[in-house]
Amino acid sequence: MTGPRPRESARHQLEVGAAESQQSRLDSYVAHAIDISRTQAATLIANGNVLVNGKRERASYRPETGDRIDVEIPPPPGREVAGEQIPLDVVYEDDDLLVVNKAAGMVVHPAPGNWTGTLVNALKGRGGELSSEGGEDREGIVHRLDKDTSGLLLVAKSDRAHRVLGAALAARKISRRYAALCWGHLDADRVSVDRPLARDPRDRTRMAIVNSGRPARTDFVRLARFDSVDLLRAHLHSGRTHQIRVHLASLGHPVVGDDTYGGGGGRKLVALPARRHFLHAAWLRFQHPVTGKAMDLRAPLPPDLTQSLLAVAGEKGGIPRDHPDLLEYLGFYRDDS
């Protein structure tokens, strides 16, 4: 097992797209892009930790199409992220990457209030190398999942793999599809939501549809319709915080069990545990960052969501209760976009 690395700054490289140009100030753009508060972004800008095309700009600067914005976040003083012996469900692993089937309830990376018990703590506890690209408290993390969302998550073990996967994610070459149960019924079997997201100006713990926010698109396909809910496949074309949850709530059909966005009632009706919403990252496809091999990884519904799905289907729902992967049975993995 390797010794602890020196603490490093987290670095982010951003490029302003045409849809984002001139829509917000630099501090707002940086806050939305890397999921920090506007005050934190303004402090980074004032301290010279944000460069636009290699130069310092004021917080009031309006980013333009093609601007390259480099953000450096200094590490918090005196806080080491310790490895912990926490079991992980590793779906795939080689010398360059691993894919974890994250359990609901696990926070991905340490932050105030969650310095232990996170996925990063568990990864460090396994030993071996992890990419240092994201900084010491986000080692190897290519993308995130919400705390109460379960499913597949990519981790880079080498810096090269992290850079290639990060670029592929930005270019939308990594396919991420989620199983979601929503309240009520969509107007059609296929629905796309293309609405920008940003921090809710009235509540910084939530996201919201905001005209000046970052572009976000989700495609939904209905796989099954039950009395009070729809089972959906959600395809992310962007990866904004809480994207699927906010987009479904904007349609008036929030994710079942989602206390934050209006779907938290009726848990007994759908046999869903407390503090759990029905959202699972079930299907991940990408090109291996080193070998170029096409990767196709799947994670069946965990037991709590399987129980919930069988409860809403009922005895006459036509779903076999002993099938090893109900998503496969319902056509979740069909490649019909």
Please report whether residue 82 resides in a domain: no
Whether 46 and 147 map to the same domain: the answer is no
In the chain, where does DSSP find H-type helix?
26-34, 38-46, 119-126, 159-170, 243-250, 267-270, 303-313, 326-329
Residue 80 located in a structural domain: no
Q: How many whole angstroms separate alpha carbon 190 and alpha carbon 223?
A: 10
> In angstroms, rounded to a whole number, what is the distance separating the alpha carbons of residues 201 and 219?
26
pTM above threshold 0.85 = no
CA 163 to chain centre: 18
What confidence score (pLDDT) does residue 231 get?
Answer: 97
DSSP 319: -
Residue 2 has a pLDDT of 41
- Which one of 146, 148, 230, 304 is the catalytic residue? 146
**219, 141: one domain:** no
What pLDDT is recorded for position 4? 43
Residues 267 and 193 in one domain: yes
Q: Answer whether residue 231 is part of any domain.
A: yes
CATH number, domain of 129, equals 3.30.2350.10
Q: How far apart are CA 79 and CA 54, in angstroms?
A: 30
Determine the structural domain holding residue 97 and report its residue range.
90-170
- In this structure, are residues 300 and 329 in contact, taking their beta carbons and an 8 Å threshold? no
pLDDT at 1: 37
Q: Give, in order, the Cα–Cα distances in Å from 316 to each of 226, 227, 321.
A: 11, 11, 11
How far apart CA 232 and CA 333 sit, in angstroms, is 12
Whole-number Å distance between alpha carbons of 204 and 218:
22
The residue out of 73, 105, 122 marking a domain boundary is: 73
Q: Are residues 319 and 187 in the same domain?
A: yes
Counting the structural domains of the chain, the total is: 3
Tokens of 79: 């806080």
3-state secondary structure at position 224: strand
**Domain check: are 96 and 140 in the same one?**
yes
Residues 200, 321 share a domain = yes
Is-catalytic flag, 146?
Answer: yes
Residues 125 and 163 in one domain: yes
Backbone angle region of 127, left / alpha / beta, with phi > 0 → left and psi within -120 to 50 → alpha: left
Query: Quick one: pLDDT at residue 202?
Result: 81
Residue 323 within any structural domain of the chain: yes
**Positive or negative: CA dihedral 152, 271, 116, 76:** positive
Asked whether residue 186 falls in the same domain as residue 214, the answer is yes
Nearest to 199, CA basis, from 40, 21, 10? 40
Residue 111 forms beta bridges with which residues? 114
Q: How far apart are CA 332 and CA 173, in angstroms?
A: 20
Four-point Cα dihedral 2, 3, 8, 14, nearest 10: 20
Residues in CB range of 266: below 8 A, 6 or more apart: 183, 228, 256
> Is the distance from CB of 323 to CB of 273 less than 8 angstroms?
no
User: In the chain, which stretches have pLDDT less than 70?
Assistant: 1-9, 19-23, 75-79, 112-113, 134-137, 336-337
Write phi, then psi, for 244 (nearest 5 degrees). Answer: -60, -40
